[in-house]
Amino acid sequence: MKDEYDFSNSERGKFFRPNATLKRRESFKTNDLVWIGCDDRTVEGWIILASGNSVSLMLGFEAILDGHVGMMPVLLEDGVYRSIVTGQAIALAHRTKADAEDTAT
């Protein structure tokens, strides 16, 4: 093995970054209220169904977005949620209970 791999010039801890912080992505759960952004349009929505790791979601809304009527399955790909059907990028953000009450009045 020594003939195949020469580790004599290797540096210990070369990739160790003591000051690095892990950027956590937002996680979503079933029944969370969300803002859904698609095609320069933002609508209120909710999570109908969410996988345990928030990678795949079923979104519910009262609108037509990118040809989806009322619901849209999305999948997290390279940090961006995309429609499973069309591939359109979807922006998601949590909506607070206060936001929901403000829009109801």
User: Cα–Cα distance between 29 and 46 in angstroms, integer?
Assistant: 10
pLDDT at 1 over 50: no
Task: Name residues whose C-beta falls within 8 Å of residue 78's C-beta, 6 or more positions apart in sequence.
Answer: none
pLDDT digits (tens, 9 = 90+) for 16-67: 556 655 555 678 999 999 999 998 999 999 999 999 888 999 999 999 999 9
Backbone torsion region of residue 55, taken as left when φ is above 0, otherwise alpha when ψ lies between -120 and 50, otherwise beta: alpha
The identity of residue 69, as a single letter, is V
pTM, to two decimals? 0.70
Q: What band does 83 get if pLDDT is binned at 50, 70 and 90?
A: very high
Site of tokens 């079933």: 30
Cα–Cα distances in angstroms (integers) from residue 102 to residues 38, 40, 47, 93, in the given order = 22, 22, 19, 17
Predicted local distance difference test score (pLDDT) of residue 37: 94
